[in-house]
């Protein structure tokens, strides 16, 4: 069993991500993108810098241009992204796109698409959810076989970075009923393909999602990702990796919100007394600190389990996502409350942490979803 500590290389990556993101992708950049209603919603220049820093290739095999540094390494990048509310298509492309292609891509798909991702020339987005709440097995989108290819019809929601992606990874039903896990297939679809309509939706955290509609979209057999009807197994594994990284990001959000709040309590005076001297607030901070320590442990354990291919990896991922959702909600609520009335204003950053936390909590399954999944996987 691996120790729950970072090795020297992972610590170096964490330090590099901390320095780079605090300087090149700070909260002020999120504000600028939000206030200017930027068309892309993130900085292409920043993305290219992330490519050069090696962040985009962290999970990618070396033969395709990556560093194969693993989930623990990528988790350090996501934690720092959470601390800075950095906006970039890391999750949609460097995590989901890379994992899906490496797990299920044909030799041609891998050799064509992965090096393009590594060079920053290709963005991907996962089009899986259709219901208001995450349920990857609830697929009504249909892929009907026509000749040697398929015709896609249906609609997807909450497609993160869908408006900017070059390739969409689409789950569609080739057999079975709407909630069956079997009969789901994955397809690589060009966003610019005839019949694909993308409607950008700016989320509460000012980040990007999209509603994507497929109206008689024709794809050839080469668009199939993995085996026909076996897409759910691939999707399940990809979502494990995505949720582990989201848990790391939520840890970063919660940690930064906590630290900013403690600093505020140590400086702010009320009736001539420093707020941090009030025992009631000290108790609340002590409770939150202990909860954050628990999240650090379970997130690192889940990331390491994915790298080791451990049998209980899926259980640990759901445990990490559920716990990080719970603690990020507590941390951001406490941050806003302890800042008093000013915590509700846009002048302070704590409200932005709350908004980002809520969006990350709901993405690919919230606390209830993952608590239920954890229980099911444990045989309860």
- What was the pLDDT predicted at 279? 75
- What was the pLDDT predicted at 179? 86
| Closest C-alpha to 202, from 253, 170, 160 | 160
Q: Does residue 1 surpass a pLDDT of 60?
A: no
CB atoms within 10 A of CB 102: 17
Q: Does residue 283 surpass a pLDDT of 90?
A: no
Q: In CATH, what number is assigned to the domain containing residue 310?
A: 1.20.140.10
Q: In CATH, what number is assigned to the domain containing residue 187?
A: 2.40.110.10
Q: Summarize pLDDT for 27-43 with one digit per residue, the tens.
A: 888 888 888 888 888 99
Q: Are residues 54 and 132 in the same domain?
A: no
**Residue 294: inside a domain, yes or no?**
yes
> What are the CB-based long-range contacts (under 8 Å, 24+) for 234-239?
234/100, 234/103, 234/104, 234/186, 235/128, 235/136, 235/171, 235/184, 235/186, 236/136, 236/314, 237/99, 237/103, 238/96, 238/99, 238/100, 238/103, 238/126, 239/128, 239/136, 239/364, 239/365
Q: Are residues 279 and 207 in the same domain?
A: no
Number of domains forming the structure of the chain: 3
Domain range for 339 is 233-377
What's phi and psi for 201, nearest 5 deg? -125, 125
- What was the pLDDT predicted at 278? 67
**Residue 256: inside a domain, yes or no?**
yes
Q: Are residues 106 and 31 in the same domain?
A: yes
**Residue 1: inside a domain, yes or no?**
no
Q: Are residues 86 and 162 in the same domain?
A: no
Domain end marker among 201, 231, 261: 231
**Residue 2: inside a domain, yes or no?**
no
- What was the pLDDT predicted at 346? 82
Provide, rounded to the nearest whole percent, the portion of the chain with pLDDT above 70.
97
Q: Summarize pLDDT for 240-270 with one digit per residue, the tens.
A: 999 999 999 999 999 999 998 888 777 776 7
Mean pLDDT of 138-154: 93
CB atoms within 10 A of CB 59: 25
Q: Are residues 102 and 139 in the same domain?
A: no
**Residue 3: inside a domain, yes or no?**
no
Q: Are residues 247 and 333 in the same domain?
A: yes
Domain end marker among 94, 122, 150: 122
**Residue 346: inside a domain, yes or no?**
yes
- Say whether 119 sits in a helix, a strand or coil: coil
Q: Are residues 224 and 248 in the same domain?
A: no
Q: Are residues 240 and 220 in the same domain?
A: no
**Residue 78: inside a domain, yes or no?**
yes
CA separation for the pair 107, 226 (Å, rounded): 11
Q: Show Cβ contacts of residue 165 under 8 Å, excluding neighbours closer than 6 positions.
A: 89, 92, 93, 123, 124, 125, 159, 191
Is residue 295 within 8 A of residue 251, CB to CB? The reply is yes
Q: Summarize pLDDT for 67-108 with one digit per residue, the tens.
A: 999 999 999 999 999 999 999 999 999 999 999 999 999 999
Q: Are residues 192 and 73 in the same domain?
A: no
**Residue 83: inside a domain, yes or no?**
yes
- Say whether 197 sits in a helix, a strand or coil: strand
Q: Summarize pLDDT for 192-237 with one digit per residue, the tens.
A: 999 999 999 888 877 889 999 999 999 999 999 999 999 999 999 9
Domain end marker among 231, 253, 269: 231
Q: Are residues 292 and 273 in the same domain?
A: yes
The continuous run of DSSP H or E covering 154 comes out as strand 149-156
Q: Are residues 179 and 252 in the same domain?
A: no
308-347 in b/e form (b: 16+ CB < 10 A) is eebeebbbbbbbbbbbbbbbbbbbbbbbbebbeeebeeee
- Say whether 24 sits in a helix, a strand or coil: helix
Q: Are residues 242 and 357 in the same domain?
A: yes
pTM above 0.85, yes or no: yes
């Amino acid at each position: 069993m691996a120790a729950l500590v970072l090795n020297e290389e992972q610590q170096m990556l964490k330090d590099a991500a901390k320095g780079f993101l605090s300087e090149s992708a700070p909260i002020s950049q999120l504000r600028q993108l939000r206030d200017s209603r930027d068309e892309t919603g993130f900085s292409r220049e920043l993305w290219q810098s992330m490519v050069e820093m090696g962040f985009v290739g962290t999970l990618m095999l070396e033969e395709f241009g990556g560093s194969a540094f693993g989930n623990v390494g990528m988790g350090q990048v996501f934690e720092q992204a959470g601390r800075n509310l950095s906006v970039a298509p890391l999750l949609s492309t460097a995590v989901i796109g890379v994992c899906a292609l490496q797990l299920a891509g044909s030799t041609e798909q891998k050799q064509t698409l992965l090096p393009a991702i590594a060079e920053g020339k290709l963005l991907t987005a996962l089009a899986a959810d259709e219901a208001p709440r995450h349920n990857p097995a609830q697929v009504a989108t249909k892929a009907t076989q026509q000749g040697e290819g398929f015709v896609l019809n249906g609609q997807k929601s909450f497609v993160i970075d869908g408006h900017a992606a070059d390739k969409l990874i689409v789950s569609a039903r080739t057999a079975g009923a709407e909630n069956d896990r079997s009969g789901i297939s994955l397809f690589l679809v060009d966003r610019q393909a005839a019949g694909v309509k993308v409607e950008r939706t700016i989320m509460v955290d000012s980040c990007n999602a999209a509603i994507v509609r497929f109206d008689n979209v024709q794809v050839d057999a080469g668009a199939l990702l993995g085996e026909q009807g076996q897409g759910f197994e691939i999707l399940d594994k990809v979502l494990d990796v995505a949720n582990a990284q989201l848990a790391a990001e939520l840890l970063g959000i919660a940690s930064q919100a906590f630290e900013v709040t403690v600093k505020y309590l140590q400086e702010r005076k009320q009736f001539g007394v420093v707020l941090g001297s009030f025992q009631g607030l000290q108790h609340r901070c002590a409770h939150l600190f202990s909860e954050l320590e628990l999240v650090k442990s379970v997130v690192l354990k889940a990331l390491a389990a994915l790298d080791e291919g451990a049998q209980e990896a899926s259980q640990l991922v759901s445990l990490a996502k559920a716990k990080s959702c719970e603690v990020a909600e507590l941390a951001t609520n406490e941050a806003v409350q302890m800042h008093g009335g000013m915590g509700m204003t846009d002048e302070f950053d704590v409200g932005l942490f709350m908004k980002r936390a809520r969006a990350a909590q709901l993405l690919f399954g919230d606390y209830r979803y993952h608590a239920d999944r954890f229980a099911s996987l444990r045989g309860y």
